[in-house]
């Protein structure tokens, strides 16, 4: 947006998804040198799922055996009480629900264990994530 580029979801969604995939791969490379846990928000699989939905390209199949993340994936169900549309998030709640439903199917199909984060305060959500990881 700052560069007035066109690789934005509301201008050229496939270009945005491809750029997001490239950035996610670069983030993973950078994170390999970090110690401890690293959390990714909206990573490679989310972008690939969007690209496949938009174009029909079979990009998700290639991620079954490459570009793997931790087996545990944490997803927060759509939460209308806190959902907001703004300059960076222009899709409405209905679109957010559809994306959640799509990703809820994509992650298990790729061999990930999806854990639904409870709709509660930030501290309790963080405790849920950390305690789930400790059990694994």
Contacts for 104-110 with beta carbons within 8 Å, 24 or more apart? Answer: 104/75, 106/45, 106/49, 106/60, 107/45, 107/73, 107/75, 109/60, 110/45, 110/60, 110/63, 110/64
Is the distance from CB of 36 to CB of 118 less than 8 angstroms?
no
Q: Reduced to 3 states, what is the DSSP secondary structure of residue 77?
A: coil
pLDDT of residue 4: 66
Region 14-20: mean pLDDT is 92
- How is residue 26 written in tokens? 């670069």
**Extents of the domains making up the chain:** 13-135
pLDDT of residue 72: 93
Predicted confidence (pLDDT) per residue in 88-129, tens digit: 777 889 999 999 999 999 999 999 999 999 999 999 999 999
Is the distance from CB of 43 to CB of 50 less than 8 angstroms?
no
pLDDT for residue 32 is more than 70: yes
Region 11-19: mean pLDDT is 89
Is the distance from CB of 98 to CB of 72 less than 8 angstroms?
no
Region 41-60: mean pLDDT is 93
pLDDT for residue 24 is more than 90: yes
- How is residue 47 written in tokens? 């972008």
Residue that is written with structure tokens 């709709």 in the block? 119
Measuring CA to CA, how many Å separate 70 from each of 37, 126, 133?
Answer: 10, 17, 10
């Amino acid at each position: 947006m700052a560069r007035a580029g066109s690789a934005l979801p509301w201008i050229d969604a496939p270009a945005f998804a491809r750029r997001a995939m490239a950035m996610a791969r670069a983030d993973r490379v950078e994170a390999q040198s970090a110690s401890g846990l690293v959390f990714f928000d909206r990573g490679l699989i989310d972008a690939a799922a969007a690209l496949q939905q938009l174009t029909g390209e079979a990009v998700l199949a290639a991620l079954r055996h490459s570009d793997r993340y931790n087996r545990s994936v944490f997803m927060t169900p759509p939460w209308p009480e806190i959902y907001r549309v703004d300059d960076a998030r222009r899709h409405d709640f209905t679109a957010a629900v559809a994306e959640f439903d799509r990703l809820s199917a994509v992650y298990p199909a790729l061999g990930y264990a999806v854990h639904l984060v409870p709709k509660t305060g930030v501290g309790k959500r963080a405790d849920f994530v950390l305690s789930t990881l400790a059990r694994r």
